[in-house]
Homo-oligomer: A and B are copies of this chain.
């Protein structure tokens, strides 16, 4: 795991640099908004989605600047979704990554606007010429991210999640929910490298299959952590799903079957990468890490 850990640390540093560059602070009173945007994106998170972008881009020898910008764009979307999810009207969370959530550190209105601006910035970054010399690639990236993040993707999943307590949800329904809520953005993160590298359909398909299994494994692991994790270590409130009466993989399958399902999924995910050589080793390792992580 050392090489994966080293890689994730390096990506953490690179992301902070890139995001700082992409989030300048104006001299007017709107600087408060931009402070909130930085607060919600810098120094936080595992940077898993950027990791997927950067690693899949490397498979196709994509220029580092391109990959970094796309990685930053996805992280902007991920962070905006957390800012809005944490709002009182949504999950009402006070703590995120061990710090006050955006609306606690600033205020609710600023948090709503910061989320809006982060989402907008993501598309600005993707569409700008420095991201790729070929405008078709830039337009394709925007389209794919918008589809993954919108009402037929991540935001749709959020809506289903909010209604989850009132719905009768079986494993199929929870799987669909998680595919929308988390999977779509994971898929885009892994496909982004292929889009940037204009990869052949077969390799793109392999990455999509990998992302699908990894995304589901991630979510099952999250449900297990929600029951077994140490709140101090995880850095956010736990056991909220159970308290809210929402079905989870753990509540539906039991912890042992959930664990063996996650185990099967990461192995299957790694298997999809057989078409790639040792350049994909860190992606293989990451599949396992995602299931075995403690935070």
Q: Quick one: which of A108-164 are within 8 Å of B by CB? A: 108-110, 112-113, 115-117, 119-121, 123-124, 126-128, 134-136, 138-140, 142-143, 145-147, 149-152, 155-160, 162-163
Is the C-beta of A90 less than 8 angstroms from some C-beta in chain B?
A: yes
Q: Please count how many residues in chain A sit with their CB below 8 Å of the partner chain's CB atoms.
A: 56
Chain B nearest CB, measured from A129 CB (Å): 8
Among the listed B117, B147, B156, B163, which residue makes an inter-chain contact with A155, where contact means beta carbons less than 8 Å apart?
B117
Q: Which residues of B sit under 8 angstroms from A156, Cβ to Cβ? A: 26, 28, 30, 33, 117
Do B124 and A112 have beta carbons less than 8 Å apart? no
Do B142 and A126 have beta carbons less than 8 Å apart? yes
The digit string for A70-86, where 1 denotes a CB below 8 A from any CB of B, is 00000000001000100
CA gap between A26 and B33 in the complex, in Å: 34
Is the C-beta of A46 less than 8 angstroms from some C-beta in chain B?
A: no
Do A30 and B108 have beta carbons less than 8 Å apart? no
Chain B nearest CB, measured from A34 CB (Å): 6
Do A146 and B159 have beta carbons less than 8 Å apart? no
Write the residues of chain A forming the contact surface with B, with a CB cutoff of 8 angstroms.
26, 28-30, 32-34, 37, 80, 84, 87, 89-90, 107-110, 112-113, 115-117, 119-121, 123-124, 126-128, 134-136, 138-140, 142-143, 145-147, 149-152, 155-160, 162-163, 167, 176, 180
CA gap between A152 and B136 in the complex, in Å: 26
Q: How many copies of the shown chain assemble into the complex?
A: 2
Given contacts A136-B135, A142-B142, A146-B120, contact A152 B26 (CB under 8 A): yes
Closest residue on chain B to residue A32 by CB atoms = B159
Q: Which residues of B sit under 8 angstroms from A80, Cβ to Cβ? A: 116
Do A112 and B135 have beta carbons less than 8 Å apart? no
Chain B nearest CB, measured from A195 CB (Å): 12
Do B151 and A34 have beta carbons less than 8 Å apart? yes
Q: Which residues of B sit under 8 angstroms from A159, Cβ to Cβ? A: 29-30, 32-33, 110, 113
Do B119 and A151 have beta carbons less than 8 Å apart? no
CA gap between A150 and B127 in the complex, in Å: 14
Closest residue on chain B to residue A138 by CB atoms = B139
Do A142 and B123 have beta carbons less than 8 Å apart? yes
Do B143 and A124 have beta carbons less than 8 Å apart? yes
Do B113 and A155 have beta carbons less than 8 Å apart? yes
Among the listed B117, B127, B138, B146, which residue makes an inter-chain contact with A151, where contact means beta carbons less than 8 Å apart?
B117
Do A121 and B108 have beta carbons less than 8 Å apart? no
Closest residue on chain B to residue A31 by CB atoms = B159
